Amino acid sequence: MNLPLYLARGVARGGTKSVSRTIIGIAAAAVAISMITMILASALIAGFKSEISEKIFGFWGHIHITADAASYGIFDTYNYPISNHQDFYPSLQELGPVTLQSFGTGLGLNESEPQTSVGGVRHIQQFVVLPGVVSVYPEGERLPTQEALILKGIAADYDWPTFGKYLVAGEELIVGPDSLNRGIVISSITATRLELDLGDRMDFAFIGQNGQDRTRAFEVTGIYKTGLEEFDRQFALVDMRHPQSLLGWEEDQIGGFEVVLDDIGDLDIFTDYIHYNTLPQDLYADSIRNKISELFNWLDIQDYNWAIILILMIIVAIINMVTALLILILERTNMIGTLKALGQSNWGIRKIFLYYAGFIVFVGLLIGNVVGLFLCWVQATFGVVHLDEESYYLSVAPIQIDWTTLAWLNVGTFVVTLLFLIVPSILVTQVDPVKAIRFK
């Protein structure tokens, strides 16, 4: 029989004095509050990163295939057209899970293990980007309202099921082979700024290398809103043949390809695999994470915030549990002296109080998990907490629970807290059994 565990159960059932009972309750509540905070922080940060990443990838795809000379920026691709007649298009979207071999062999580098992707390529589509100036003539005004705008030309292969959820008015821009679509899908920011609505006209002008203006007139057929102001403020979707015509390109010339993956975790594997194993030497594959690194770096900073919250909450739980353990030991001084007189070792007595502390931590974690998950469910279901969309790119605080992370939070908090309680339990060794029993 495990005597320390048996005695710990007896101590727990035997109750304590009112003061110590209150302090133990506070310690359990502190563990619960710490766990609630960690669960909410983890779910909010994971949801925030997931939602923002999904918006970015929904707008640009996961991987860009462009001319090698245009590898450093999305906005340079209109200067370096490529042909859409490629061996990998559209068959690349049939590519399933792949294994990326190590590049260290024979290069004097340390050879690493081959990496295998979880999913494959879900979709590949063409695109063209073209910067210019749009002009709108307000009713009753002679002078137009002008501002810079970038046209993103799309083809019939555009993945509307992914981007279509951001449409707030109008309809999808259907690009067919028989007729040229003169519609344009603008953002809600652009619509508000230029006072445009569905059916209104806007003129787009592109200044060519010879200094001559080339213009096109469009009709607003759709309005979208991703919440990413950097994109919403700059981009509008049009039939790809418009920017091709303005640039003087041939029908088969495009700015590049966007590749959409099944699993975001495969981003690095597929970027290297496509670049080295699929593309000809004059083309370049790069992940959108590298092309828009500033935004993703900002998202990565959220991990540091989560780590700081995690450390602070564990410290709070440890401090409260240390206080509770010391009070338990002082309150049970007579019991400690009696057990020592009966031959029980210091470590055996310390284990009694560590088991008791473990019960308290377990109860705190249990309450914290129940309350934390309930609050996550409330937010995910009803969207109680709202955000300033201009600052956070989202109107409602998102929730995404990673059950693996949740399990590690519970195990880690339990183990770390008990490890730190080993030190204050040394107080047991300082109890003199003679004095403890004398003053019983």
Question: Could you give the CA distance from residue 132 to residue 151 in angstroms, rounded to a whole number?
Answer: 8
Q: Are 271 and 287 in contact (CB under 8 A)?
A: yes
Please, what sign has the CA dihedral across residues 185, 190, 193, 194? negative
Between CA 202 and CA 179 the distance in angstroms is 20
Q: Where is 319: in which H helix or E strand?
A: helix 293-331
What pLDDT was estimated at residue 405?
92
Judging by beta carbons within 10 Å of its beta carbon (0-12, 13-18, 19+), is residue 359 exposed, middle or buried? middle
Contact 196, 136 (CB under 8 A): yes
pLDDT of residue 38: 93
Burial of residue 209, with CB atoms counted within 10 A of its CB: 0-12 exposed, 13-18 middle, 19 or more buried:
exposed
Can you read off the two tokens belonging to residue 154? 């799309």
Asked if residues 127 and 260 have their Cβ atoms less than 8 Å apart, the reply is no
Residue type at 7 in one-letter notation: L
pLDDT at position 352: 79
DSSP summary character for residue 76: G
Total length of the chain: 440
Of 296, 245, 396, nearest in space to 60 by CA: 296
B/e letters for 61-80, b = 16+ CB within 10 Å, e = fewer, are bbbbbbbeebbeebeebbeb
Q: Tokens standing for 351?
A: 């284990």
Question: CB of 270 within 8 A of CB of 63?
Answer: yes
Supply the pLDDT for residue 353.
79
Beta bridge partners of 216: 204
Q: Where are the domains of the chain?
A: 3-55+296-438, 126-261
Q: Is 129 helix (H, G, I), strand (E, B) or coil?
A: strand
Phi and psi angles of residue 133, each rounded to the nearest 5 degrees, phi first: -130, 135
Over its C-alpha atoms, the chain yields an Rg (Å, rounded) of 32
The 10 Å Cβ neighbour count of residue 182 is 14
Low-confidence stretches of the chain (pLDDT beneath 70): 1-20, 69-73, 102-112, 140-141, 209-211, 336, 428-440
From the centroid of its chain, how far is CA 365? 26
Reported as a single tens digit per residue, the pLDDT across 338-394 is 777 777 777 777 787 788 888 889 999 999 999 999 999 999 999 899 888 877 888
CA quadruple 232, 235, 236, 238: dihedral sign: negative
Fold of the CATH domain 126-261: Cathepsin D, subunit A; domain 1 (2.40.70)
Q: How far apart are CA 137 and CA 167, in angstroms?
A: 25
Structure tokens at 405: 């992370």
Smallest CA-to-CA distance from 11 within 321, 428, 335 is with 335
Query: Which tokens belong to 95?
Result: 């590519």
Nearest to 361 by CA among 55, 32, 4, 23: 32
CA distance linking residue 394 with residue 274, whole number of Å: 33
